[in-house]
Each structure stands twice: as structure tokens, then as C-alpha cells.
Amino acid sequence: MEKRQKIYKYIMLVVIVATITFLLTSIWVYKTIEGKGKYIYVTADNSEIGNTLATFRKLIDQKFLGEIKEEDLVNGAIKGYIEGLNDPYTEYFTKEEMEEFTVDVFGNFVGIGVNMLNNTTDNTILVLSPIKGSPAATAGIRAGDIITKVDGVAYKGENLSEASSKIKGEKGTTVKIEILRDNQTMEFEIKRDSIKINHVEGEVLENNIGYLSLNTFDDGCAEEFEAQYKELEKQNIKALIIDVRNNGGGLVDEALEIAQLMVPKGNTMLITVNKNEKEEIEKSEKNPVIQMPIVVLTNEGTASASEILAGALRDNKKAKTVGTKTYGKGVIQELITLKDGSGIKITTSEYYTPNRNKINKVGIEPDVMVELSKEAQNSLTLDKRNDTQLQKAIEVLKSEM
């Protein structure tokens, strides 16, 4: 896989508002060596739509009291047309929004540092996790919180992009976030700051068990994962825990490159199916370098690329999963740039594990079901001694070493 000349498959639209807002939309982002994108030329030739809009425009010109901004009318019409698909993951971006999105995905981040998603089951903005050391984490925002208001304005899950934009701002300024936690409303005033993302964190636990925590699957994450693993290997680890709890996803290619470190060459890692039922099968292209007992930690915040990794390792019998059922985000989208600089993010296919297990709206049931203890849930910083899921993973690995 060439890392720079390829179509990046995104398993989650990262409108990293540096709230680092993960929208959990699977996406293919066109990106080439010199940063040039793929542009699609389109023309509107639907006369019925054109005639209808022309009728409304005539009425607006005759009756509307106020300033008419042509660009706003066009953008509003397109957004409304796309919203008519009733797909929470398909969205139109104006030129300015497209530029902002690109900067957010591949640039530097200033915000409060929280991973969020549109929880389509109840149309709320759900906090997957605050980023370690971020203003959100320091203020006390927790995984599972529901963001209800930003600076006094109420938002639903379907308004995630708008809420994300409001949370953004200049470094040093503050934003008021209202959240719902255990049926209790709480308000936080948080100062925006530069956000540092550590993709992978590692350490050696008891009994020479290595531990790697994956926070996201951004560009370069696979290289970082392998480097961290080699450092643990030097310390003579005998087993490995991969923690993807509250990891909302990222680049599919990064997840697959990590899977290849463990999945035998030639084995299936991922299956995708488009609207015409055409299948694409991703197979491992490398000989595995990690060959030891492995446990993958999962929970309800494990989504998209994280589910791909967990599914690939489990179906290939390279790892056991411990924790709770994953989120269930199994559709992929394509990000297309139009001639005028605007763009559309559109659902194009669904993905399945190597054993053809459905993920979308289903999730992955763990091999060993373990709920996180109440003490751990209520703690701002998760103590490994109180982490019942981690302790179960250690127990499982001890039995296999």
C-alpha cells in the first residue's frame, strides 16, 4: 500500500473541530502526493427541479422583504436536496466548509479536545471520549456525556456539524457546554487550546503483558503503532492488549495496516459491498510480525475503523475481544470535491468482517462480556486497578501464556 498515492478510506468523518469531533462517517478521502484532489464536474439538468426553483425565485423577487443573497439561496437549496435522502452520514459542503473540513482532518487543531458523534438512535450529540490532557478532560467532560447546548443554543445529533463549528474558536477564548449526564444537566465553561493527539500509548503491565492504547486511526497511526510495539518487544513482552475503547475510528488504511502486523498473508481482513452488490475484498499483503496471545478491548464507543481491526483479528483467530458490544458503524462514504470547490460526502458501501458478519447497526459482541465497574465509570482518570475490563483481559492472557 503506497501511503501517499492512494485513496484514503475514512471510517469516520472527522470534522475534527478540535473538539476533535468524530462524526463516525466512513469516508474515502481523495488525497494525492502534492495535495491535489480529484474533482468531479457536474451539471444540473433536471428541468422539473429547475422549474420549481424558478417559480419560488419569482415569488421571492416579488414578495420577499429583505436582502437576497444568491449564493446563500443556492447553497440552501442544495443542502435541502441532499438532506432529503434522510441519511445522517450524507452531507453537502460549501466551498468554505470543504476547506475547513480538509484543514480539520489533515491540519493542526485548536479547540476543547473531545471526540463526539451523532448518535442516530436518539438524535443526540454523544461524547465518545475527551482527549487525554485536553481542556475538555481537565474540565471534567466524560465519555457518555450528551452535549445539549453550546453557548446557550440547543443542538440535536443531526446538528452536529453546526454545533462543532460553534465549539471551535480562537485559542484562549472560552465556550460554554451544557451536557446531560445520568439525567442531570451540567454546564462547563472551557477555554480553547491547541490539541495534541497521541495516537498510540504503550506500557508493560504485569506478567510481561504489553499494552497499546489506540486513540484514533489518523494518518501515520500504523507506523506509530508498530514503533510502540517494537519498544515493548525489547522489554520482553509475552502477550499484548490492544485497547480501542472509545476509539471512534479514522482511516481504514491505517486500521488495515495495523491488522497486517498480525493477520497471516493472504487472509481476508475486510469485505465491502456497494449498491450494485459488487464486493471488494481486502487481504493481508504481509507476513505477520506480532505472533503472541492478543486481547482487544472494546466498548460501545468502539466504532468504524476500530471495529474493522477488532473484526479482522477476531475472525482470523489472532485475538480475543473483551469488554462490551461495539457501536455498530459499518457504512462507508466517499468525499467528492466539485469543480467550484464545494463537495459532497455520500454513503457508497457497507462493510463486513472477514466471516461476513454485519457490523452496521449491529456491532461486535465481545468473546468475553465485561462491564466497566461503577467506580471506574465515575472516575475522571481510569485507574488500571479499577478497570474491570482491563483486569479481565490480563486474566484471559495469563491463561494463554
Q: Which residues are catalytic?
A: 304, 315, 329
All three cell numbers of 205, joined, read: 503491565
- Give the bridge partners for 251, in sequence order: 10
Residue listed under C-alpha cell 465515575: 378
Burial 275-309 (b: 16+ CB within 10 A, else e): eeeeeeebebeeebebebbbbbbbbbbbbbbbbbb
CA distance 120 to 114: 18
All three cell numbers of 320, joined, read: 480475543
Residue by residue, DSSP assigns 74-96 as: HHHHHHHHHHTT--TT-EEE-HH
Phi–psi pair at 211, nearest 5 degrees: -130, 120
CA distance 89 to 120: 10
Q: Compute the Cα dihedral for 383, 385, 386, 390 and give only its sign.
A: positive
